Amino acid sequence: MSDQNEVELTDGFHLLIDALKMNGIGDMYGVVGIPVTGLARLWQADGQRFFSFRHEQHAGFAASVAGYLTKKPGVCLTVSAPGCLNGLTACANATTNCWPMILISGSSEREIVDLQQGDYEEMDQLNIARPFTKAAFRINRVQDIGVGIARAVRTALSGRPGAVYLDIPARVFAQTMPADEGAKSLFVPVDPAPAQLPAPDAVKRAVDLIKGAKNPLILLGKGAAYAQCDAEIKALVEETGIPFTPMSMAKGLLPDTHPLCAAAARSYVLPAADVVILIGARLNWLLSHGKGKTWGGEKKFVQIDIQANEMDSNVPIAAPLVGDVASCVSALRAGLKGMPKASAEWVGGITERVAASKTKLAPKLAAVTPQMNYQNSLGAIRDVLKNYPDTILVNEGANALDNCRMIVDQYLPRHRVDTGTWGIMGIGMGAVVGSATATGKSVVAVEGDSAFGFSGMEIETIARYNLPATIIIMNNSGIYKGDEKIEGSNQPACTVFVPNIRYDLMMQAFGGVGINATTPAELAKALEDSIKSRKPTLINAVIAPDAGVESGRIQGLNIVSKVGKKS
């Protein structure tokens, strides 16, 4: 019999669930085990979605991709020590890519961990997480759950987004407190990602520079895509007539087929431009650090970024615009109003080169070859996907990545998720789950066979949740190429796999659809059928083992020995 005066209690489990829900988080990605299984069960019982993975790294990637696509932090839940460590790879990648996510890991008892007395899965998780995240916090008391979640949300979203680690010792989940006080301890941060307006003199400096440019160029990065101010960016391009080039994940911010898209004349426009307007893009390795022959000598940069110290990170920035993309682009538009459009000579020269590149590429995409290669297989994929522009494309690999980025056009913002700033392999299946669950859209992943291997077991996750996903394995039986041999040895070369693997049978084993495609026509049909069916499908696209080049288009980064073999 309950006592009439008994105070109604709540506990850490329930407060955590309520705090996340209150902050608009309805999905969690993770792997259960001690001490978080109870949390995941209660979360599901409450009607929220828990996407249960086979490995934490991929759950973390899914959360971070969901964060990128929705501008809300994606949440990943893991067990202690090894689970937390696996999740930290995704945190590091999210922070590097400026994507908001929160990794919540259960942890062992502090007294034992701090004296290193050997607890179950003992690890000083909080300190280990610090260098891989934007911030790392621990919630030590049940009454701090509300403020802990609010701080995590604001930290992940504000300024330059990134990953937050939240450490929750096991006992906090079960700690109780009066339910009414618990409810009062929860809150939603007000305006967690406030607009940050650029200073008027900074805007004037940028406007003057752009007005004086002969060959201006806009360079769009994934920060511009993340900002979700697509109409503003389109208006800036179209009002000024300035040609643009997208970084890989900014493809589709304006369609790749837009008359001002200079992507197919990249090696011409970068050196030929005199003023380059960087919008949410960093001058890192992907842009040759703003120097060298990619850029053909000195030029002036306008840079829009929310992170003030991104400016001058590689070369001096003539006109830094520190602020959020939407506010900065809007201020630029106002300042540039009435400016004559970019010259016909500049734009015309680009249009000609774009047309010439496309004409040169076309026969390779349609070529008939004894075995498929990257160009004709991707030509078939491109022709199908242009009829399904609202499909999200996930892409990783070396040749599979570079050729797909070049060949497959994007038409809509935030419809391409790839290896990002690190060029990371293994993002694939996590990105598929994150994209499909965060948007409800069909997802097509174009995967190198090596890249796929990093997260391949997650096709069981994809099949289990019956996600509308098509995974295409560009199977050339190896890393870069599948035909390498070691002279005088039977040991497999470090780049090759078992020849002729039937990855499609893996998907069949999990109850999904698996198809083996050996010609562009078979590949196109399988892809189209799969998109229409919205059933989890894996297409094993058989590519010639000698197709592909070492490291795709970034061969220059390879280090090779210049001295003779030592015996």
Residues making contact with ligand OXK (CB under 6 A)? 247-248, 263-267, 286, 357-358, 361, 398, 401-402, 405-406, 419, 423, 551-554
In the complex, least distance from residue 396 CB atom to ligand OXK, rounded to whole angstroms: 8
Candidate ranges 132-140, 242-250, 377-385, 495-503; the one touching ligand ADP (CB under 6 A): 242-250
Q: Alpha-carbon distance 553 to 271, whole Å? A: 18
* Rg of the chain, C-alpha, whole Å: 25
- Measured CA to CA in angstroms, residue 270 lies from 274, 350, 352 at distances of 9, 11, 16
Q: Which is nearer to Mg ion, 231 or 549 (CB)?
A: 549
Of the residues 435, 455, 476, 537, which one makes contact with Mg ion according to CB under 5 A? 476
**396 touches Mg ion (CB under 5 A):** no
Selection from ligand OXK, ligand ADP, Mg ion, none that 377 binds (CB < 5 to 8 A by kind) is none
Two structure tokens written together for 359: 């004409």
Shorter beta-carbon distance to ligand OXK: residue 402 or 504: 402
Q: With CB under 5 A as the contact rule, which of the stretches 108-116, 373-381, 441-449, 509-517 interacts with Mg ion?
A: 441-449
227 contributes a contact to ligand ADP by CB under 6 A: yes
The smaller minimum CB distance to ligand OXK, of residues 375 and 461, is found at 375
The yes or no reply on residue 146 touching Mg ion (CB under 5 A) is no
- Residue 223 interacts with ligand ADP (CB under 6 A): yes or no: yes
Identify which range of 23-31, 142-150, 243-251, 500-508 contacts ligand ADP by CB under 6 A.
Answer: 243-251
DSSP secondary structure of 486-524: -TT--SPPTTB-STT--HHHHHHHTTSEEEEE-SHHHHH
If contact means CB under 5 to 8 A according to the sort of partner, which of Mg ion, ligand ADP, ligand OXK, none does residue 249 touch? ligand ADP
Choice between 171 and 258, CB closer to ligand OXK? 258
- Annotate each residue in 127-166 with x if it binds ligand ADP (CB under 6 A) or - if it does not, as one string: ---------------------------------x------
Instruction: Give which of 448, 446, 445, 424 is closest to 435, Cα–Cα.
Output: 445
Residue 448 binding partner per list ligand OXK, ligand ADP, Mg ion, none, with a CB distance cut-off of 5 to 8 Å that depends on partner kind: Mg ion
Q: How far apart are CA 50 and CA 289, in angstroms?
A: 41
Q: Which is nearer to ligand OXK, 372 or 406 (CB)?
A: 406
Burial of residue 303 (number of CB atoms within 10 Å: 0-12, 13-18, 19+): buried
In the list 10, 97, 215, 540, the residue contacting ligand ADP (rule: CB under 6 A) is: 97
Q: Are strands 9-11 and 176-178 parallel, antiparallel or unpaired?
A: antiparallel
Looking at the Cβ atoms of 175 and 284, the one nearer to ligand ADP is: 284
Q: What is the DSSP letter of 199?
A: P
Q: Which is nearer to Mg ion, 73 or 448 (CB)?
A: 448
Tokens 């020849």 correspond to 499
Residue choice 448, 456, 468, 552 for contact with Mg ion (CB under 5 A)? 448
Provide the residue type at 70 as one letter: T
- Give the tokens for residue 204: 């004037």
Q: Which is nearer to Mg ion, 410 or 476 (CB)?
A: 476
The CA distances from residue 42 to 47, 174, 184, in Å, are 9, 13, 21
Residue that is written with structure tokens 């003779």 in the block: 564
Residue 101, burial from CB neighbour count under 10 angstroms (0-12, 13-18, 19+) = buried
Cβ 392 to ligand OXK, closest distance in Å? Answer: 18
Q: Least Å distance between CB 224 and ligand ADP?
A: 7
What are the C-alpha distances in Å from 192 to residues 151, 294, 409?
A: 9, 38, 34
Contact 221, 97 (CB under 8 A): no
Q: Is 148 in the site for Mg ion (CB under 5 A)?
A: no
Instruction: Considering the complex, state which of residue 246 and residue 478 has its C-beta at the smaller distance from Mg ion.
Output: 478
Q: SS3 for 296-337, per residue?
A: CCCCEEEEEECCHHHCCCCCCCCEEEECCHHHHHHHHHHHHC
> Judged by CB under 5 A, which stretch of 35-43, 160-168, 445-453, 556-564 contacts Mg ion?
445-453
Min separation Cβ 324 and ligand ADP, Å: 4
Mutual angle of helices 399-407 and 374-385, in 10-degree steps: 40
Which of Mg ion, ligand ADP, ligand OXK, none is residue 265 near (CB under 5 to 8 Å by kind)?
A: ligand OXK
Half-sphere exposure of 529 (CA within 13 A, CB side): 13
Cα 465 from Cα 467, distance rounded (Å): 5
Residue nearest to ligand OXK as judged by C-beta position: 423
Which residue has the CB atom at the shortest distance from ligand ADP? 223
Could you tell which of Mg ion, ligand ADP, ligand OXK, none binds residue 365, using a CB distance below 5 to 8 A set by kind?
none
State the DSSP string of 39-88. Answer: HHHHHHHTT-EEEE-SSHHHHHHHHHHHHHHHSS-EEEEE-STHHHHHHH
CA angle in degrees (0–180, nearest 5) for 291-292-293: 130
Q: What is the DSSP string of 375-391?
A: HHHHHHHHHHHTT-TTS
Task: Output the smallest distance, CB 463 to Mg ion, in A.
Answer: 23
By CB under 5 A, residue 320 contacts Mg ion: no
Residue 330 or 410: which CB sits closer to ligand OXK?
410
* 253 contributes a contact to ligand ADP by CB under 6 A: no
Q: Are 523 and 381 in contact (CB under 8 A)?
A: yes
Determine the interface stretch with ligand ADP among 233-241, 299-307, 372-380, 516-524 (rule: CB under 6 A): 299-307
Taking CB under 5 A as the binding criterion, the range among 5-13, 42-50, 430-438, 468-476 that sits at the site for Mg ion is 468-476
Nearer to ligand OXK, 12 or 482 (CB): 482
27 three-class SS: strand
* Residue 358 touches which member of Mg ion, ligand ADP, ligand OXK, none, C-beta under 5-8 Å by kind: ligand OXK
The upper half-sphere exposure of residue 236, i.e. CA atoms within 13 Å in the direction of its Cβ, equals 30
Give the footprint of Mg ion on this chain (CB under 5 A): 448-449, 476
Residues that bind ligand ADP (CB under 6 A): 97-98, 160, 221-223, 226-227, 247, 249-250, 280-282, 284, 286, 305-307, 310, 324-325, 421
